[in-house]
């Protein structure tokens, strides 16, 4: 895969012995239901296709280059100017931990940090972020090495379906550095930009308070 690695794209996890939920689902999309009956190792051989998909190349009309520092790694991609930061992260850089909910800045599922501040990545064009430092959920912790906020969400069961969770956690991590009163009500006010359709709010607040109290 090294030879095929595009500048600025994430390296995929090793394919054999570790198949992520996403790569597995993606494979289903490529090969169809038949793939479910085949050994995973065989299915995984087709995986490199995923990194090549949806990455606009220099040949795309009107594409412009943008350099971002994403989770500590310098990356340069060619994007259509219409590409939002959210779509750039998900489609061009395959960082799919950041979710698209409403795509209009109303739900908070797309929350990431830009230069250390939380923003709605759906309401920003990627090209506006030349030179900016972007942190996504993939950048704050990994399985086996969770950020304290991720661990607290697990402890407190701060989710049900999980779709809003990465946005909730990115918002909550940013909140730790913002002026915020001690009460649950203060946390609720500052987390109001993150909607949880399952209604896990009490547990989300408990998770955030757990981290703040232990800090």
Partner 1 sequence: METFKYSRAQDVSQAVQAGAQSATSQQGAQVRFVAGGTTLLDLMKLNVERPAQVVDINRLPLDKVEKLPDGRLKIGALVRNSDLARDSAVQSDYAVLSQALLSGASAQLRNMATTGGNLLQRTRCMYFRSTETACNKREPGSGCSAIEGENRTLAILGTSSSCIATNPSDMNVALTALEATIHIQGTKGEREVAIQDFFLLPGNTPHRETVMEPGDLITFVTLPAPRPGTKSVYLKLRDRASYEFALSSAAVVAEVADGKFRRVRIAMGGVGTKPWRSLEAEKALEGKKVDPAVFREAAHAALRDAKPQSQNGFKVELAKRCLTHALTLATQSA
Instruction: Supply 11's token pair.
Output: 């390296």
The CB-of-111 to partner 1 minimum distance in angstroms stands at 6
Residues 177-196 that bind partner 1 (CB under 8 A): 178-179, 188-194
Q: Where does this chain touch partner 1 (CB under 8 A) — which range of 4-12, 18-26, 42-50, 75-83?
A: 75-83
Instruction: Rule CB under 8 A: say whether 211 interacts with partner 1.
Output: no
Q: Are 35 and 27 in contact (CB under 8 A)?
A: yes
* Cα–Cα distances in angstroms (integers) from residue 130 to residues 70, 74, 83, 91, in the given order: 11, 11, 13, 18
Residues 86-125 that bind partner 1 (CB under 8 A): 103-105, 108, 111, 117-120, 122-125
Identify the residue among 92, 166, 171, 210 touching partner 1 (CB under 8 A). 171
The CB-of-70 to partner 1 minimum distance in angstroms stands at 18
The neighbour count for residue 188, using CB atoms within 10 Å, is: 14
**What values do phi and psi take at 132, rounded to 5?**
-80, 155
The CB-of-107 to partner 1 minimum distance in angstroms stands at 10
d(CA 172, CA 162): 15
Residues 147-166 that bind partner 1 (CB under 8 A): none
Instruction: Supply 188's token pair.
Output: 């609720």
Report the Cα 180 to chain-centroid distance in Å: 25
The CB-of-135 to partner 1 minimum distance in angstroms stands at 13
> Which of 76, 87, 81, 52 lies closest to 64 in space, CA to CA?
81
Q: Of 38 and 82, which has the nearer Cβ to partner 1? A: 82
Residues 47-66 that bind partner 1 (CB under 8 A): 62, 64
Instruction: Rule CB under 8 A: say whether 128 interacts with partner 1.
Output: yes
DSSP label of 52: H
Give percent helix, percent strand, percent coil of the chain, each to the nearest 5: 40, 15, 45
Q: Of 73 and 177, which has the nearer Cβ to partner 1? A: 177
Instruction: Rule CB under 8 A: say whether 200 interacts with partner 1.
Output: no
Residues lying near partner 1 in the complex (CB under 8 A): 62, 64, 80-82, 84, 103-105, 108, 111, 117-120, 122-125, 127-128, 130, 171, 174-175, 178-179, 188-194
């Amino acid at each position: 895969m090294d030879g095929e690695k595009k500048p600025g794209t994430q390296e995929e996890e090793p394919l054999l012995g570790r198949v992520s939920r996403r790569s597995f689902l993606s494979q289903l999309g490529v090969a169809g239901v038949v793939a479910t009956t085949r050994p995973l190792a065989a299915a995984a051989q087709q995986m490199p296709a995923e990194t090549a998909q949806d990455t606009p190349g220099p040949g795309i009309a009107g594409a412009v280059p943008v350099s971002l520092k994403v989770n500590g790694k310098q990356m340069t991609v060619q994007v259509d100017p219409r590409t939002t930061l959210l779509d750039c992260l998900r489609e061009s850089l395959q960082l799919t931990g950041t979710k698209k909910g409403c795509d209009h800045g109303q739900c908070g599922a797309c929350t990431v940090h830009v230069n250390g501040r939380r923003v709605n990545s759906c309401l920003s064009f990627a090209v506006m972020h030349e030179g900016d430092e972007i942190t996504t959920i993939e950048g704050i912790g990994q399985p086996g090495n969770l950020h304290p906020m991720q661990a607290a969400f697990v402890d407190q069961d701060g989710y049900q379906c999980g779709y809003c969770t990465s946005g909730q956690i990115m918002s909550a991590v940013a909140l730790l550095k913002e002026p915020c009163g001690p009460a649950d009500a203060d946390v609720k006010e500052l987390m109001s930009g993150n909607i949880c359709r399952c209604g896990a709010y009490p547990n989300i607040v408990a998770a955030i308070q757990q981290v703040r109290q232990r800090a």
